[in-house]
Structure 1
Amino acid sequence: MKRIRFSPLLFRRIHKWVGLLLGLQFILWALSGSMMALLDADAVGGHDGPAMPAMPVSTTDLVDPTIALGGRPVVGLALRDLAGRPVYEVVDRAGPRLIDAATGRRLAVDRQLATAIATHGSTMPVAGVSLLARPNLEAREHAGPLWRVDFRDAEHSSAYISATTGRHLVTRGDTWRTWDFFWMLHNMDYVNRSSFNHPLIIFVAFCVLWLSGTGFYLLFTSFRKADFRWITNRSKSRMKRPA
């Protein structure tokens, strides 16, 4: 069996091909970083869209929350505005639920209510409404089922409404989607687009470290005595100069 000889030539060949692969990733890092920096930060934020303005809550003619709850113990209770109507958001052991503060009845966040929440305070026309059993990449920071309300605007905005609490979670547009694509290239998280310390990027980081180390090794092994001859010749010429 032929043994592998770890010579400068072998390191040079490995260094060359590893450098080529990492060089392509360096180009992607530079390109994605530049594009993320050039995009408008306000548009990327995904917060300036429909259904964002805060509305005052009417407190007149409301049902006593203790009556609406039927004496059951709760962990949390909040009075909120939901598309122009006051509601109680109740949190107990079973999770959060909504109660109409005017009637005391359980309130379900259906398609009609989700559309009303997303368009409340906005005149943007709705292009479509769909129920998601779990968050997609655009709403990956949230949990639970949610409604996606698409708008017919220049940004093709999509408002995400929690199907449990009716809260507006986030609004995304084309600028954010462009930024998110380059963010995926930048942090190399091609599945979740959320982590920058996953196994792939850690492996690439060690490859860059190895490339730097072998680069220094090959740099020093590439020098010969002849490369420094100009220094000795210059010293000798100075010594021969007449005083």
Structure 2
Amino acid sequence: MKLKSRHYYIRKSHRYLGVVLGLQFLFWTIGGLYFSWNDLDEVHGDHLRSEKRYLPADLALVSPQVVLDSLKRTQQIDSIATIQLVEIVGEPVYQVRYFAGSATHAAGEAGGHAGANATNQKVQLARATTGELLPALTKEEAIAVASSQLKAPVKVENVEYLTEAGAHHEYREKPLPAWAITFSQPANCTVYVSAELGTFQAIRHNQWRMFDFLWMLHTMDYESRDNFGNLLLRVFSVFGLLTVISGFVLFFVSSPRRKLANNYQRANR
């Protein structure tokens, strides 16, 4: 009777653990299949993009100091983050990231440094051939940048100016403000261009969106999608381990050989 009761409780615990975890195991399996059968470069949209263009070496560029001197006439510059030469629709442009105000000093005193998302970081574009300061990209300029990124852009379906993007937005954790340019083809894709940086940031299409949805189910992070240390995933991982262990135990205690051994012991008592 004691052995039967033990079998009963093992089977019952295994069954209920299976019911609780079965759906999530299905999501993990479907997600794993999708991840393994899709090329990550295609998910990122690399196959939709045109070849990267480089600036010629014989350009006549002004010194970045010219840009800084012009910028200091109108802006208070606390420190320089980066000065980068970028290409915007075939034109060489200086992309100057700088800090204004005293927030960088406070961060330095605290032992840290101001990062790319610091609230006091600003960006200034300037024509690299003349030093002329340029404003943030207009709608038409953003469309031109987005179109230059695609191999075969078709019709522009929609253009949206983003000033914020939530945790579930497909442009999350990217520089804002940004222009979102959606094309009818290829693959119903949306190209995101940073208005202040003036450059391409991301391309999102149907294959990426499916990957992102399954990734959320895979990580069980329904807020930001990328937190592998969330409590829900940890709990289900422990339950999954218990389910597997209970299955092995159930197989061992229910094996025919063990039953024969137990029957033999009872017969010889």
Q: Structure 1 counterpart of 2:135, which letter?
A: L
2:135 corresponds in structure 1 to 107
CA distance in 2, matches of 1:34, 1:14: 29
Distance change (3 Å), C-alpha of 1:198 and 1:184: same
Q: Structure 1 counterpart of 2:13, which letter?
A: I
- Larger displacement relative to structure 2 (190-199 or 17-26): 190-199
Alignment of 1:35 onto 2:34: yes
Distance change (3 Å), C-alpha of 1:75 and 1:127: same
- Larger displacement relative to structure 2 (54-63 or 113-122): 54-63
Alignment of 1:130 onto 2:157: no
Q: Structure 2 counterpart of 1:132, which letter?
A: L
Maintained 8 Å contact 2:161/2:177: yes
Alignment of 1:164 onto 2:196: yes
User: Paired residue for 1:83, among 77, 89, 98?
Assistant: 89
Maintained 8 Å contact 1:132/1:147: yes
Structure 2 gaps of 5+ residues are 73-78, 101-120, 265-269
Maintained 8 Å contact 1:160/1:171: yes
User: Paired residue for 2:144, among 116, 125, 139?
Assistant: 116
Q: Structure 2 counterpart of 1:162, which letter?
A: S
Distance change (3 Å), C-alpha of 1:169 and 1:227: same
CA distance in 2, matches of 1:169, 1:121: 10
Q: Considering only aligned residues, what root-mean-square deviation do their CA atoms show, in Å?
A: 3.2
Maintained 8 Å contact 2:64/2:131: no
CA distance in 2, matches of 1:129, 1:226: 70
1:189 corresponds in structure 2 to 221
Alignment of 1:98 onto 2:125: yes
Distance change (3 Å), C-alpha of 1:75 and 1:219: closer
Maintained 8 Å contact 1:51/1:159: no
Distance change (3 Å), C-alpha of 1:60 and 1:230: closer
Structure 1 gaps of 5+ residues are 1-6, 233-243
Distance change (3 Å), C-alpha of 1:230 and 1:205: closer
TM-score by length of 1: 0.77
Q: Structure 2 counterpart of 1:47, which letter?
A: D
Cα shift at 1:62: 4.5
Cα shift at 1:13: 2.6
SS of alignment partner, residue 48 of structure 2: coil
Cα shift at 1:58: 7.8
Alignment of 1:21 onto 2:20: yes
Maintained 8 Å contact 2:156/2:184: yes
2:111 corresponds in structure 1 to none
CA distance in 2, matches of 1:116, 1:19: 53
TM-score by length of 2: 0.70
Distance change (3 Å), C-alpha of 1:31 and 1:60: closer
Cα shift at 1:114: 1.2
Count residues with an aligned counterpart: 227
Which structure is larger by alpha-carbon Rg, 1 or 2?
A: 1
CA distance in 2, matches of 1:79, 1:189: 38
CA distance in 2, matches of 1:31, 1:61: 54
Distance change (3 Å), C-alpha of 1:26 and 1:38: same
Seq. identity, %: 29
